[in-house]
């Protein structure tokens, strides 16, 4: 495939994406249509000016002043007022539609993004996605509204202008049109390179946003490792790359404008020269030549403007390529929670049947191998094993963040794929080791477990999680800000807020990534006590790091290298003299 064919294919694909995005204009089609009518009116008024000015010149040459010339002057004044009014409403309506469309497009992109499965987020960086939903969509706003309107306006002026020029003088029009194709060739030639540079600039901006996003999210690590100057250098390199691309783009666009100006004024000189010859031979009147020159300026300037519109379309094509990749990803079938089907209410029983799993980005590496086990309702089950054994993946499959590569998972005898994904997850809660808190208040973070919960429910959950005792000591109590990712709270306080969130959700199945190992003795006691309260009356699955905390577990699943190598109670597993559990237990108790 040649470069030319490839570029044509890319342009056609980009235009298809443009029309696909125009569905966001549909709710505002009447406002947009009215804006187009005002656009037509203002364009028609623009085309009337040269004709009327030409008539004034002819009347002046003929010595016909007085009433006739005053009449045309009044018509010109009226046309000017009409054009001003139409231009105001055109801009107002297009801006109004543009802002509404932009809001809808942002919301649609965010809604789609948040519904995508975990495998998508494994392959993308937060800063890159943030750039897509901010800077890329801003480019699309321009393309969806202003760019199209400007293109239509310029097309009308070119077509209407050429039509009026043909009426004025066929010979001079054909002479002028013989020069235009040269300008069009330049537009296509330069546009191809501008598109490439625009796409590169978008990618570089996304990379720079990623650096900022990740650095600010991990600011504590940056400062702890004294890497401020390292991060500044990294960002400086990226911003310089953006600047260099912009400068190169500017050079091309500057050269483009120079050629356009050269072509425009060259065309004017050629038209005046040819028109003067027709004027001398009596084939053209002075006023007609005057109108013709103004029309030539109009059309030449409009063609130059179309070059800018074309460059904006190229930018749009570059922006849509990445945005459409997001829209082309299949979302999870999440849905709003309504009255649940009694058939889908969990009792707490779980069964893994010959489950194998590989992460989508590592299909050749099996993380779980032939997992076959059963968890009874209201039981306490512990997952133990060395790092990388597959414990966290086991939990991810329970939450259906991923689906097994083969085999199946059943809840109370029902295949998990038969239960709506939102209904399934709504009956489970997880308290991870690395707690993530949103940057709002304590109230908002606890209420995240059950949006719409009353203050009494939130306080009761905090009390059960042993969190109320430290919350009431804050001046703002439940309205205290926790800071970005909860940095204003200690590790133990963050854990108890997370437990309160899980208490409020009142899940049927509770998943705990044991988080007491990094806490001091007092916080460990408070958190462990809150966890024990939370585990009562529900199925609890604990990823255990300290074996001393799971001696009372109803079932211990010992995992190694993606397999369950042992299962049983604490006492049963200790009877095996060569078992992995016994070895891990002896190592911990010796230390």
pLDDT digits (tens, 9 = 90+) for 531-543: 777 778 888 888 8
CB within 8 Å of 97: residues ≥ 6 apart = 25, 28, 31, 32, 35, 145
Confidence (pLDDT) at 211: 76
Confidence (pLDDT) at 400: 87
How does pLDDT run across 80-134, given as a tens digit for each residue?
A: 888 788 888 888 888 788 788 878 878 888 888 888 887 777 667 666 677 667 7
Q: Which domains does the chain have, with CATH numbers?
A: 7-328 (1.20.1560.10), 344-427+508-517+544-591 (3.40.50.300)
Instruction: Tell me how far CA of residue 588 lies from CA of 89, 547, 555, in angstroms.
Output: 77, 8, 20
Q: 180, 157, 161: which is closest to 270 by C-alpha?
A: 180
Mean pLDDT split into 10-residue runs, the chain, 591 residues: 47 56 77 83 72 62 60 75 83 82 80 80 70 69 67 76 74 71 63 68 74 72 69 83 80 72 70 72 68 70 66 66 74 72 82 88 83 88 84 87 88 87 85 77 83 84 81 82 71 81 85 65 70 80 78 85 85 77 71 50
Confidence (pLDDT) at 4: 47
Beta strands (DSSP E) in 312-469 are 350-357, 368-375, 380-384, 406-411, 414-415, 428-431
For 504, counting Cβ atoms within 10 Å of its Cβ (0-12 exposed, 13-18 middle, 19+ buried), the class is buried
Confidence (pLDDT) at 339: 61
Confidence (pLDDT) at 181: 61
HSE of 298, CA atoms in CB hemisphere, 13 A? 27
DSSP assignment, residue 226?
T
**493: three-class secondary structure by DSSP:** helix
Q: 334, 275, 284: which is closest to 116 by C-alpha?
A: 334
Instruction: Tell me how far CA of residue 151 lies from CA of 146, 147, 154, 161, 538, in angstroms.
Output: 8, 6, 5, 15, 64
C-alpha–C-alpha distance, residues 83 and 80, integer Å: 5
**407: three-class secondary structure by DSSP:** strand
pTM: 0.65
CB within 8 Å of 335: residues ≥ 6 apart = 420, 421, 422
Confidence (pLDDT) at 191: 62
Q: 380, 381, 386: which is closest to 584 by C-alpha?
A: 386
Strand partners, 382: 542, 556
H or E stretch including 587?
Answer: helix 580-590
Confidence (pLDDT) at 10: 44
Confidence (pLDDT) at 7: 47
Say which residue the tokens 């004027």 belong to: 279
């Amino acid at each position: 495939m040649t470069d030319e064919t490839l570029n044509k294919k890319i342009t056609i694909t980009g235009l298809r994406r443009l029309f696909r995005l125009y569905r966001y204009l549909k709710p505002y089609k009447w406002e947009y249509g009215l804006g187009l009518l005002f656009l037509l009116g203002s364009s028609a008024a623009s085309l009337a000016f040269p004709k009327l000015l030409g008539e004034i010149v002819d009347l002046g040459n003929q010595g016909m002043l007085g009433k006739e010339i005053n009449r045309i002057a009044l018509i010109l004044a009226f046309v000017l007022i009409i054009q001003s009014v139409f231009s105001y409403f055109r801009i107002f309506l297009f801006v109004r539609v543009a802002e509404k469309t932009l809001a809808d497009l942002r919301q649609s992109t965010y809604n789609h993004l948040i519904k995508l499965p975990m495998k998508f987020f494994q392959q993308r960086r937060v800063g890159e996605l943030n750039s897509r939903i901010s800077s890329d969509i801003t480019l699309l706003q321009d393309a969806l509204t202003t760019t199209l309107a400007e293109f239509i306006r310029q097309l009308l002026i070119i077509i209407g202008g050429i039509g009026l020029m043909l009426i004025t003088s066929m010979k001079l029009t054909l002479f002028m049109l013989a020069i235009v194709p040269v300008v069009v060739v330049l537009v296509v030639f330069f546009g191809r390179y501008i598109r490439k540079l625009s796409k590169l600039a978008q990618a570089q901006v996304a990379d720079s946003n990623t650096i900022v996003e990740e650095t600010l999210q991990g600011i504590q690590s940056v400062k702890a490792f004294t890497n401020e100057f390292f991060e500044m250098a990294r960002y400086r390199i990226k911003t310089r790359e953006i600047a260099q691309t912009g400068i190169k783009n500017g050079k091309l666009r500057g050269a483009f404008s120079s050629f356009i100006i050269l072509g425009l004024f060259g065309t004017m000189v050629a038209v005046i020269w040819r028109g003067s010859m027709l004027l001398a031979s009596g084939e053209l009147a002075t006023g007609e030549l005057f109108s013709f020159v103004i029309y030539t300026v109009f059309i030449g300037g409009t063609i130059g403007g179309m070059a800018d519109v074309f460059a904006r379309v190229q930018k749009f094509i570059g922006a849509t390529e990445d945005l459409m990749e997001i829209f082309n990803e299949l979302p999870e079938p999440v849905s709003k929670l309504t009255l649940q089907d009694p058939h889908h209410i969990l009792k707490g029983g779980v069964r893994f049947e010959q489950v194998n799993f590989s992460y989508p980005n590592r299909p050749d590496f099996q993380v779980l191998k032939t997992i076959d086990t059963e968890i009874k309702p209201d039981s306490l089950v512990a997952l133990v094993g060395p790092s990388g054994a597959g414990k966290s993946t086991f939990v991810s499959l329970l939450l259906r963040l991923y689906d097994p590569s083969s085999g199946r998972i059943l809840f109370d005898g029902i295949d998990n794929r038969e239960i709506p994904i939102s209904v399934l997850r709504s009956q489970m809660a997880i308290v991870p080791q690395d707690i993530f808190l949103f940057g709002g208040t304590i109230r908002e973070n606890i209420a995240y477990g059950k949006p719409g919960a009353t203050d009494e429910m939130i306080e009761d959950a905090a009390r059960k999680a042993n969190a109320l005792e430290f919350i009431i000591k804050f001046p703002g109590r439940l309205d205290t800000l926790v800071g970005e990712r909860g940095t204003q709270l200690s590790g133990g306080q963050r854990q108890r807020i997370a437990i309160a969130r899980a208490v409020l959700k009142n899940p049927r199945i509770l998943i705990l990534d044991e988080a007491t190992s990094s806490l001091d003795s007092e916080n460990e006691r408070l958190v462990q006590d809150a966890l024990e309260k939370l585990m009562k009356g529900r199925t609890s699955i604990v990823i255990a790091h300290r074996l001393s905390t799971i001696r009372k577990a109803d079932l211990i699943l010992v995992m190694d290298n993606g397999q369950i190598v042992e299962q049983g109670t604490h006492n049963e597993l200790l009877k095996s003299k060569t078992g992995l559990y016994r070895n891990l237990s002896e190592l911990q108790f010796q230390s």
